[in-house]
Structure 1
């Protein structure tokens, strides 16, 4: 049972800005209503510029939250794009490895990089939701499907299974205070979709936002990011990928098909498609490029027997489930379920 929750800003410092105060207040109340004691780590509310300019403080917040025995769960405020800059402050002297403890860690988007950091030091984590994007939803409540998984995680410390959402929502474009209580437009959803390969497969899941993963190998966003990732060996060795399931979801930037192809090619060059047991693909936000992405996956991976399952309600499309990393998952598309061996 989760009681004490720490909120960290490991990428962007958005939650410290006045323009989101109404959202943050909603989120705090919801967490309190769930029976949680909420603590913002010392630098989480310092604002965008401060957080951007002080990666060492972001790293310190994470280390403090991991080391504090009273904290049960670490919830990431939001994503961003430069959490890789924490690497020297977490790995130069084994700081992260020394701080790791048995806690729940939840985040998505650029937090993908933090998940890989924690995987490197042997910590199991949870992918799929964040404080600002999910708990602070402007509707009268959290989105029901999203809330179901969040409540399961805080009440049990685990996720037993994931099933598809019956609906999906268009992304919110206006987060102003006048939008509080305004529902999102929604559409019927159609369940998990087997693109190719066997309908049942198993393995531990690892992955995240393909935009952030592509930045491991491509320096267009930050020229030094591939250098940092290589220096600290952030992308797992090929032996670590054997039998795993790769999770890929795409960001609100709605990566062009041309860039998506390059990102999948970069992953192919690592050799992981020859050793993993399957791939899970998150529903793209607003279903943008959904058909183009599917075709690219089939064409570029060029491995017809490798299972690929699309339309998982994870990542930037709403609503969002939560997927555990580091535990064996069994994907069963015939029965439209992903089960986890907790």
Structure 2
């Protein structure tokens, strides 16, 4: 079954509704219409940064309504942000999300990590790695080919069968103005998935996302109530629930310094996460900033020397981006440079 109708939601930042980005929105809409897709902007998605910052309940309402509308095949996040955890009371009190949520495609990344964990808590698989503004609205003449390949696969099959490395990576765009319409990104050769520890084959259901968002489960330095809210709704899985899973971690456009990156990895190590998972996938850092430093820190701070760790996965904040299914059984084979997904065994 092909995706016929997409709902666009602003669950984090409200940038989608701002005037300065409408040339990007127009471009993205044209591309979706070329796929003969009906696009619905949910009621609050275009109300702008200030309104949505003040009204997390409005963001939550849009997600509930998108799940409740049976004509919608895919829920596509506009972009990330930094306070998606604030939707928790409006989604989990009175079991609102549990009552509304059903299996349909949910696609987003960055701070949308929090929404993926919400759906995981309800046992609903989701898709990580792309979003409307950064990917569909990419200012180049076309969507980036690798990104486009996985987006089209999700549209046409409503699934992702496997992920392989991109042959190239791009430097991030600095100018998003109208003047950049049609301009290409600078390309570099990409060298594929890199096994930096452990065995070259492992399997499990993947869960994870943006490292900074995951760190918020354990740290209140961004917002003082992050830990208490996430703990109240038991959003982060227990070690028992993590057992046998594959953890995906990727860093944001903030490009955390090596010291901050080390602190975040140590927090997960202290929690015991690396002792129970079956493997770790680490996304390519944006612009390959701190590429070697991050790799060294991962090897230094993770005490389990038999844990399989794969580095340089094209997912998250570095372009181009694949799409990785969460909650679907995955088989990682680094000799063959492929991560394959088995929907029948999930």
Smaller-chain TM-score range? over 0.9
Aligned residue for 1:304? 305
Aligned residue for 1:149? 150
Cα distance in 2, alignment partners of residues 244 and 35 from structure 1: 37
Cα distance in 2, alignment partners of residues 145 and 215 from structure 1: 30
Cα distance in 1, alignment partners of residues 53 and 303 from structure 2: 40
**Misfit runs of 4+, over 3 Å:** none
Aligned residue for 2:89? 88
| 1:101-146 Cα deviation digits (max 9, x unpaired) | 1200000000000000010011100000000000000000100000
| 1:151-186 Cα deviation digits (max 9, x unpaired) | 000110000000000000001111000000000001
Cα distance in 1, alignment partners of residues 36 and 308 from structure 2: 40
Aligned residue for 1:105? 106
> Which residues of 2 match residues 275-314 of structure 1 at below 5 A?
275-314=276-315
Aligned residue for 1:173? 174
Tell me, what secondary structure is at the counterpart of 1:309?
A: strand
Shift of residue 269 of structure 1? 2.0
Moved more, 261-270 or 14-23: 261-270
Aligned residue for 1:215? 216
Cα distance in 2, alignment partners of residues 26 and 180 from structure 1: 9
Aligned residue for 1:19? 20
Cα distance in 1, alignment partners of residues 166 and 64 from structure 2: 35
Cα distance in 1, alignment partners of residues 342 and 79 from structure 2: 28
Aligned residue for 1:58? 59
Cα distance in 1, alignment partners of residues 172 and 196 from structure 2: 25
Tell me, what secondary structure is at the counterpart of 2:25?
A: helix
Aligned residue for 2:6? 5
Tell me, what secondary structure is at the counterpart of 2:8?
A: strand
Aligned residue for 2:321? 320
Tell me, what secondary structure is at the counterpart of 1:92?
A: helix
Cα distance in 1, alignment partners of residues 303 and 20 from structure 2: 46
Shift of residue 303 of structure 1? 1.4
Cα distance in 2, alignment partners of residues 270 and 154 from structure 1: 37
Aligned residue for 2:231? 230
Tell me, what secondary structure is at the counterpart of 1:61?
A: helix
Tell me, what secondary structure is at the counterpart of 2:191?
A: coil
Q: What 5-or-longer segments of structure 1 have no aligned partner?
A: none
| 1:209-243 Cα deviation digits (max 9, x unpaired) | 00110111111110111111111111001111110
Q: How many residues in Structure 1 have an aligned counterpart in Structure 2?
A: 342
Aligned residue for 1:78? 79
Tell me, what secondary structure is at the counterpart of 2:94?
A: coil
Cα distance in 1, alignment partners of residues 303 and 173 from structure 2: 36
Whether 1:33 and 2:29 are equivalent positions in the alignment is no
Cα distance in 2, alignment partners of residues 238 and 67 from structure 1: 32
Structure-2-length-normalised TM-score: 0.98
Shift of residue 316 of structure 1? 0.2
Aligned residue for 1:272? 273
Tell me, what secondary structure is at the counterpart of 2:196?
A: strand
Cα distance in 2, alignment partners of residues 67 and 266 from structure 1: 37
Cα distance in 2, alignment partners of residues 323 and 267 from structure 1: 21
Cα distance in 2, alignment partners of residues 67 and 239 from structure 1: 32
Tell me, what secondary structure is at the counterpart of 2:175?
A: coil
Tell me, what secondary structure is at the counterpart of 1:187?
A: strand
Tell me, what secondary structure is at the counterpart of 1:94?
A: helix
Q: What 5-or-longer segments of structure 2 have no aligned partner?
A: none
Tell me, what secondary structure is at the counterpart of 1:265?
A: helix
Shift of residue 93 of structure 1? 1.2
Shift of residue 34 of structure 1? 1.1
- Compute the RMSD of aligned alpha carbons: 0.6
